[in-house]
Amino acid sequence: MMTPQQYEESLRKLNLEVYMFGKRVENVVDDPIIRPSMNAVAKTYEMALRPEYEDIMTATSHITGKRINRFTHIHQNVDDLVKKSKMGRLMGRATGCCFQRCVGMDALNALSIVTYDIDKTKGTDYNQRFLKYLAFVQEHDLVCDGAMTDPKGNRSLPPHQQADPDLFLHVVEERKDGIVVRGAKAHQTGAVNSHEIIVMPTIAMRAEDQDYAVSFALPSDAKGIVYVMGRQSCDTRKLEAGQLDRGNPFFGGHEALVVFDNVFVPWQRIFMYKEYEFAGSLVENFASYHRQSYACKVGVGDVLIGAAQTAAEYNGAERASHVKDKIIEMNHLNETLYCGCISCASEGHQEPSGTYVVDKLLANVHKQNVTRFPYEIARLAQDIAGGLMVTMPAEEDFKSPATGKWLDKYYAGNCDVPTLNRMRILRLIENLTLGTAAVGYLTESMHGAGSPQAQRIMIARLANMAEKKKAAKKLSGIDE
């Protein structure tokens, strides 16, 4: 397993084509806006090497028998699924943001199932290709970006009917040694912190869409892959010299549009090629795993609840009954989210490939709750924090000889607490509910792993209504 330092050095060896603010980023690792997101990924390497977290953060490879980072592991039993949820909460609490490795982990596990299923039906050798690739990822402890979401264009039209065929990633040429693909993947979390890009179809396909039914993996700096960084609220605060106004000066996340401009993919790295019948299965398995992965929001919720309690104490309001009740409600909502990710893991089952998958109904119920509860937790945190969270002057004003004394005097709360500490905790709440971390906590809670309606569709499909009606009729004395 890599150390955080080795991970950073491995990124320096990549030659990524990254653009931000209209210019190419020459040094991705040290860019002040991107760097906090790299720190968050590096934390996954650090935590895996700490003895107290070994059981949660590492696993034994079912291929080699070696100890590996759990983010590269294929779930072998229910205990693995449960530990995945615990790892998500642990890392969310440690970073207060998205730590960016869940998508790749979920892509690997989904492919371990679907490549096996394709082979059984079609007589292909995708699973053996995949297992060789997995061994490579595990051996080098790599970060994989799971790339599923296409731009989609006109949502009412399937891929093959789009005015621009590139709005869904597709095969444009078949060669003796591989294929050439063109298109893009949007909202790619942690993309420029990744060693590998694992591409998957984004929706179920039909025969006319077979050129879009493709899955493969490539090095993140493969020729023709271009990254355009997304904006985040308050992102340019990271360019400032001080730390106070960043809220969380240590960690962060990022998203990017990843463009595939006629990119060559060798056959040995292709895991689906025109098997359109299995595109929906890959999407469903990946989505179920990734909806479980929102255990991370419980960990970030822990940070926000701790910040709200601290703010109440710094304000001298912690004994107010309404404040106590709001903290209770925040904990109730957060622990309810934890119940969801643990339950779908505990009810997991083994697929024919040997891989364990979560209970898909409960995974979707869990993610549906994640689209709602963090927003209420954030609202209550803002309520407790007070308006100063968004009217506070800049760090430079606190340091200024002309204004610093007045700010220290008039922004004091509890006299036992330094004014600057009160400002730090308020800035953290701002960061988690309005700033850069709000992308990973709130908006990602809403749209990550599929929009709320996607989960509702799956809940409707997976809920066993026939069994529920049977139970009701039996107790009513109805004999049909």
Element (H, E) at 382: helix 373-385
188-219 residue pLDDT tens: 999 999 999 999 999 999 999 999 999 999 99
Amino acid at 236: T
Let me know the angle formed at the C-alpha of 205 by 202 and 211, rounded to the nearest 5 degrees: 85
Please state, for a pLDDT cut of 90, what percent of the chain lies above it. Answer: 99
87-98 residue pLDDT tens: 999 999 999 999
Cα 387 from chain centroid (whole Å):
30
| Residues designated catalytic | 98, 102, 189, 255, 290, 294, 296, 444
Stated pTM of the model: 0.96
- Exposure b/e, 169-196, CB count within 10 A at least 16 = b: bbbbeeeeebbebbbbbbbbbbbbbbbb
Contacting residues for 40 by C-beta, under 8 A, at least 6 apart: 95, 97, 98, 99, 100, 251, 252, 253
Tokens at 51, concatenated: 């003895």
Nearest to 44 by CA among 98, 82, 81: 98
Confidence of residue 173 (pLDDT cuts 50, 70, 90): very high
316-355 residue pLDDT tens: 999 999 999 999 999 999 999 999 999 999 999 999 999 9
252-288 residue pLDDT tens: 999 999 999 999 999 999 999 999 999 999 999 999 9
Task: Report the distance separating Cα 352 and Cα 372, nearest Å.
Answer: 35
DSSP 70: G
Task: Report the distance separating Cα 344 and Cα 154, nearest Å.
Answer: 34
Mean pLDDT of the chain: 97
Please state, for a pLDDT cut of 70, what percent of the chain lies above it. Answer: 100
- The rounded radius of gyration (Å) of the Cα atoms in the chain is 24
Query: Contact, 144 vs 107, CB < 8 A?
Result: yes
Contacting residues for 288 by C-beta, under 8 A, at least 6 apart: 344, 357, 358, 360, 363, 364
Calculate helix-pair angle for 360-370, 373-385, nearest 10 degrees: 30
pLDDT at residue 254, as a whole number: 96
Task: Report the distance separating Cα 451 and Cα 472, nearest Å.
Answer: 32
Could you give the domains of the chain?
Answer: 291-471 (1.20.140.10)
Cα 478 from chain centroid (whole Å):
48
Task: Report the distance separating Cα 339 and Cα 336, nearest Å.
Answer: 5
pLDDT at residue 35, as a whole number: 97
397-433 residue pLDDT tens: 999 999 999 999 999 999 999 999 999 999 999 999 9
Tokens at 437, concatenated: 């971390």
Task: Report the distance separating Cα 395 and Cα 411, nearest Å.
Answer: 13
Alpha-helical runs (H) found in 434-464 = 436-438, 444-447, 452-462
Please count the CA atoms within 13 angstroms of the CA of 466 that sit on its side-chain side. Answer: 2
Nearest to 88 by CA among 57, 133, 55: 57
DSSP 449: T
Nearest to 98 by CA among 151, 143, 32: 143
- Greatest alpha-carbon pair distance for the chain in Å reads 85
Task: Report the distance separating Cα 350 and Cα 380, nearest Å.
Answer: 40
pLDDT at residue 278, as a whole number: 98
Query: Contact, 82 vs 345, CB < 8 A?
Result: yes
Confidence of residue 132 (pLDDT cuts 50, 70, 90): very high
